[in-house]
């Protein structure tokens, strides 16, 4: 007979999920009501309004897809792209590669613009690709690469795409709530995100927003959307205005309670204050990491504050360090992914995880474990350096 | 500024979600840990083992898809069916129609076997369709039609399909945990379900199981699965054995805590005891409903105990009745769907909702509201009739 599961509480400083605030866990556990209950429908309207705020958009089609960020990505691709389309996909990490997969599974062609992992997308390469490939339907890129910690210049890429008549599809899984993101000002046509990063909500749902231009493309498709579950022509009716709901699927009721609460907390803090907090805490962590003798792999001008990819001291078994952090201190940090596997750690300072006590815990625990393993670091230097930045 | 959402507690006796047991809500709200944390991976193994029990299968590929039942359906279809395939789809309610949508969006052909809403799938018609269409790849049907409350003879249909060399894809969204379902004994090749019906878990994830024969079909496809998110070739690696996990997407961590707890509770009760409880409570509700003067629309021999579609007294505004039940007694019952919209109510006795106090509340509230509205019912007859069956 299997017994109930009681997870050991952890401090989550990996690439996500991040720590979920007790207020959000409490909202999550509230009694389930029907997904067509007027109270629930009204709550969905609030979620929509607050997502518009988080995305800085007036887009009417702003919703939470009932599945993780990967499904939010797929929602944008299967609705906007059709077989035979040509699409520019920028890849500078894992998630650009996933965009390519999405494009190809639709039967469209991905024209790749590749940059080294850890670098921002090179805007000049995007421009060259647009010039070399007239008539591309969309330019797709990752605003904040979770696999490397690099931010790209979303506004510049969107401007270029629009000059060439292309739509933009943007991955904001790790940026939403944690660093500057302005959907309307930057001219992003379609964007998707996740809940388990800087919103500090539980994983499992994906905020998505499309502007009117993108909605027109969806409405005027030549072919049906290949996914019934993700067909926005149907999902729009479910999230439709004026309190009306056309039954499509059963919404993840409790997960939406949690998203609602996380967005209430974002409003209370203020979006720009949240961006500033993520920035300030990054500077404190950075001071400690560099004082210890480790380096950041992303250039300062494209470094994400919420996802810190740092080097591993020579000769250290990086997986053993992560296991020890988890087992001894209940602290999770992330491994490298793809081309960076075994080469970096990814330290997340996302949402509720981005706070002073976590920075000290992480630096102190890394210092302790690396020192015990005999790694060449400046033992004892990290905490005072971080603390100096926190004042 | 939007404030926190505190739903009014309801009693959920519609077609789902059903009442979620406090133990499951409590599990849901436990601290989020990483989806690659060894504790979490071990919990996923337990979920798999307990799902095998619930499905009565030894299928190695038994998982919870990270999205609602609709996505579980789509998982089965996009993995097993390819463009150009011919597939028999049985339709006797809403969800057979959704299967047809899935087949067509893949570029395959759906050969429809249609029965009236409220009837079981006619096995003779399935046989005729198989004879008339040699070489069909699969026979697809809904075991328990949530839109009508009709059960179909899954074993007989599977036997026929196999005699003709066809796979079977079965919708068990409403049957899993609530009425007899034996995946291995009945020869079901691929099956999907939901968590928010007779498992009494929160909505948002979908148990899916494929036997080895179906897995071979997935592995030997000529084309790539059109959905990256639902590609079982990738998802299998995430739910893979020996404690290894290939990163695919971020699992809905807390929703899986809840599913785990609901499956622990199913084990504690015993699967067959749960079936029996659903049956017994149906008989008590039925006695009350019939004493009141309402009828069941499904023949007794194919009537689902967990989903009761009953007639509406003549001249009654059925939507007003449901609103009054909700506003006055916090009781949710379901409307008719599709061809049965406005013609029936759907009263769910699923999972934790299937208990004596709910039967009395539902009958008492219906009696009170209908009597007040001047409907022609036998006022006062329902409760004693139900109580007599509960002894």
CATH code for position A351:
3.90.1150.10
CA A153, A159, A163, A164 dihedral sign is: positive
How many CA atoms lie within 13 Å of B191's alpha carbon, on the beta-carbon side? Answer: 30
Which of chain B's residues have a Cβ under 8 Å away from the Cβ of A204? 66, 204, 251-255
Asked if residue B12 belongs to a domain, the reply is no
Interface test with A, best of B228, B244, B263, B268 (most A CBs within 10 A): B228
Judged on CB neighbours under 10 Å (0-12, 13-18, 19+), B139 is buried
Interface test with A, best of B54, B173, B204, B340 (most A CBs within 10 A): B204
DSSP notation for B281-324: HHHHHHHHHHHHT--BSS-GGGB-SSEEEEE--TT--HHHHHHH
Give the per-residue pLDDT at A241: 56
Tell me the count of A-B CB pairs closer than 8 A: 263
Of B211, B244, B267, the domain-final residue: B267
Give the per-residue pLDDT at A238: 82
pLDDT tens digits for range B321-355 = 999 999 999 999 999 998 899 999 999 999 999 99
CB contact under 8 A, B204 and A66: yes
CA B331, B344, B271, A6 dihedral sign is: negative
SS3 A349: coil
pLDDT tens digits for range A226-238 = 999 999 999 988 8
Nearest CA in chain A to B26: A29
Q: Which residue has the tokens 């993700």?
A: A230
Looking at every residue in chain B, the average pLDDT score rounds to 96
Interface test with B, best of A2, A225, A334 (most B CBs within 10 A): A2
Which of chain B's residues have a Cβ under 8 Å away from the Cβ of A41? none
Of A223, A244, A267, the domain-final residue: A267
A328: its two tokens: 């001894």
Asked if residue B8 belongs to a domain, the reply is no
Could you tell me which residues are beta bridge partners of residue A58?
none
Pairwise CA distance, residues B108 & B81, whole Å: 7
Average pLDDT over residues A211-216: 98
**Same domain, yes or no, for A57 and A115?**
yes
Give the per-residue pLDDT at A244: 63
CB neighbours of A79 closer than 8 A, spacing ≥ 6? A210, A218, A221, A225, A230, A231, A232
CB contact under 8 A, B332 and A102: no
Which of chain A's residues have a Cβ under 8 Å away from the Cβ of B5? 27, 30, 43, 46, 257, 260-261, 264
CB contact under 8 A, A267 and B224: no
Asked if residue A147 belongs to a domain, the reply is yes
CB neighbours of A160 closer than 8 A, spacing ≥ 6? A123, A126, A127, A130, A139
Pairwise CA distance, residues B5 & A37, whole Å: 14
**Same domain, yes or no, for A109 and A180?**
yes
Nearest CA in chain B to A99: B228
Pairwise CA distance, residues A262 & A279, whole Å: 19
CB contact under 8 A, B105 and A1: no
Q: How far is A131 from chain B (nearest CA, A)?
A: 30
B248: its two tokens: 């695919």
- What's the total number of domains in chain B? 2
Q: How far is B284 from chain A (nearest CA, A)?
A: 24
ipTM of this complex prediction, to 2 decimal places: 0.97
**Same domain, yes or no, for B238 and B382?**
no
Interface test with A, best of B15, B229, B352 (most A CBs within 10 A): B229
Give the per-residue pLDDT at A240: 72
**Same domain, yes or no, for B295 and B220?**
no
CB neighbours of A266 closer than 8 A, spacing ≥ 6? A50, A53, A54, A177, A199, A274
Report the CATH number at residue B205.
3.40.640.10
Average pLDDT over residues A89-117: 97
Judge whether residue B244 has pLDDT over 70.
no
pLDDT tens digits for range B262-312 = 999 999 999 999 999 999 999 999 999 999 999 999 999 999 999 999 999
pLDDT tens digits for range B97-119 = 999 999 999 999 999 999 999 99
**Same domain, yes or no, for B218 and B302?**
no
B265: its two tokens: 């509770």
**Same domain, yes or no, for B237 and B166?**
yes
Q: How far is B64 from chain A (nearest CA, A)?
A: 12
Asked if residue B13 belongs to a domain, the reply is no
Which of chain B's residues have a Cβ under 8 Å away from the Cβ of A29? 25-26, 28-29
pLDDT tens digits for range A30-79 = 999 999 999 999 999 999 999 999 999 999 999 999 999 999 999 999 99
**Same domain, yes or no, for B254 and B276?**
no
What is the pLDDT confidence band of residue A340, given thresholds at 50, 70 and 90? Answer: very high
**Same domain, yes or no, for A108 and A149?**
yes
Pairwise CA distance, residues A178 & A249, whole Å: 31
The answer to whether B130 touches B197, Cβ cutoff 8 Å, is no
CB contact under 8 A, B32 and A17: yes
Give the per-residue pLDDT at B236: 86
SS3 B87: strand
pLDDT tens digits for range B54-97 = 999 999 999 999 999 999 999 999 999 999 999 999 999 999 99
Q: How far is B210 from chain A (nearest CA, A)?
A: 20
Give the per-residue pLDDT at B51: 98
Judged on CB neighbours under 10 Å (0-12, 13-18, 19+), B26 is middle
Work out the angle at residue A38's Cα, subtended by the Cα atoms of residues A34 and A43, and round it to the nearest 5 degrees.
85
Q: How far is A226 from chain B (nearest CA, A)?
A: 5
CB contact under 8 A, B12 and A33: yes
Pairwise CA distance, residues B66 & B254, whole Å: 11
Of B249, B267, B285, the domain-final residue: B267
Asked if residue B259 belongs to a domain, the reply is yes
Pairwise CA distance, residues A111 & A125, whole Å: 12
CB contact under 8 A, A228 and B332: no
Q: How far is A74 from chain B (nearest CA, A)?
A: 7
CB contact under 8 A, B254 and A46: no
Taking the CB of residue B191, how many other CB atoms lie within 10 A of it? 30
Judge whether residue B242 has pLDDT over 60.
no
Give the number of residues written for chain B: 391
Which of chain A's residues have a Cβ under 8 Å away from the Cβ of B71? 66-67, 71, 229, 249
**Same domain, yes or no, for B164 and B283?**
no
**Same domain, yes or no, for B262 and B297?**
no
Work out the angle at residue B303's Cα, subtended by the Cα atoms of residues B300 and B309, and round it to the nearest 5 degrees.
110
Give the per-residue pLDDT at B238: 81
Give the per-residue pLDDT at B246: 76
Nearest CA in chain B to A45: B2
CA B254, B238, B75, B119 dihedral sign is: negative
CB contact under 8 A, A253 and B202: yes
Pairwise CA distance, residues A179 & A302, whole Å: 12
CB contact under 8 A, B251 and A2: no
DSSP notation for B201-268: PPSS-EEEEE-HHHHHHHHT-SS--S-STT-HHHHHHHT-STT-----S---HHHHHHHHHHHHHHHH
**Same domain, yes or no, for A275 and A360?**
yes
Closest-CA residue to B259 (of B180, B204, B211): B204
CA gyration radius for chain A? Answer: 21
Asked if residue B329 belongs to a domain, the reply is yes
Asked if residue B290 belongs to a domain, the reply is yes
**Same domain, yes or no, for A169 and A44?**
yes
Q: How far is B163 from chain A (nearest CA, A)?
A: 31
**Residue A254 structural domain:** 21-267
Asked if residue B371 belongs to a domain, the reply is yes
Interface test with A, best of B227, B258, B262, B266 (most A CBs within 10 A): B227
């Amino acid at each position: 007979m299997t017994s109930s599961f009681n997870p050991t509480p952890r401090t989550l400083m990996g690439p996500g999920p991040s720590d979920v605030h007790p207020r959000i866990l409490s909202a999550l556990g509230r009694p389930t009501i029907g997904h067509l209950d007027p109270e629930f429908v009204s709550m969905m309207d609030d979620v929509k309004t607050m997502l518009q705020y988080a995305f800085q958009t007036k887009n009417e089609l702003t919703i939470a897809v009932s599945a993780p960020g990967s499904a939010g990505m797929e929602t944008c691709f299967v609705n906007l792209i059709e077989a035979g389309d040509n699409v520019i996909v920028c890849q500078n990490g894992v998630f650009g590669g996933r965009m390519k997969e999405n494009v190809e599974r639709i039967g469209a062609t991905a024209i790749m613009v590749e940059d080294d992992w850890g670098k921002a997308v090179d805007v000049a390469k995007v421009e060259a690709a647009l010039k070399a490939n007239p008539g591309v339907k969309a330019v797709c890129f990752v605003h904040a690469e979770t696999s490397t910690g690099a931010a790209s210049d979303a506004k510049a890429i969107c401007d270029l795409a629009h000059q060439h008549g292309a739509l933009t599809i943007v991955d904001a899984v790790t940026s939403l709530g944690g660093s500057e993101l302005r959907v309307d000002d930057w001219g992003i046509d379609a964007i998707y995100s996740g809940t388990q990063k800087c919103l500090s909500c539980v994983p499992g749902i994906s905020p998505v927003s499309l502007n009117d231009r993108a909605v027109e493309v969806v409405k005027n498709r030549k072919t049906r959307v290949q996914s019934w579950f993700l067909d926005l022509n149907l999902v729009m009716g479910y999230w439709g205005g004026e309190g009306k709901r056309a039954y499509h699927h059963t919404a993840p009721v409790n997960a939406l309670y949690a998203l609602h609460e996380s967005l209430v907390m974002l409003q209370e803090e203020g979006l720009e204050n949240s961006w500033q907090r993520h920035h300030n805490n990054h500077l404190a962590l950075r001071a400690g990491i560099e004082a210890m003798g480790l380096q950041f792999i992303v250039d300062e001008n494209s470094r994400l504050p919420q996802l810190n990819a740092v080097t591993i001291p020579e000769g250290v078994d990086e997986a053993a360090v992560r296991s020890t952090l988890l087992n001894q201190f209940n602290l999770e940090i992330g491994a490298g992914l793809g081309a960076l596997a075994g080469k970096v750690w990814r330290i997340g300072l996302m949402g509720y995880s981005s706070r002073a006590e976590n920075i000290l815990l992480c630096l102190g625990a890394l210092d302790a474990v690396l020192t015990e393993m005999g790694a060449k670091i400046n033992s004892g230097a990290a905490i005072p350096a971080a603390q100096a930045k926190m004042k």
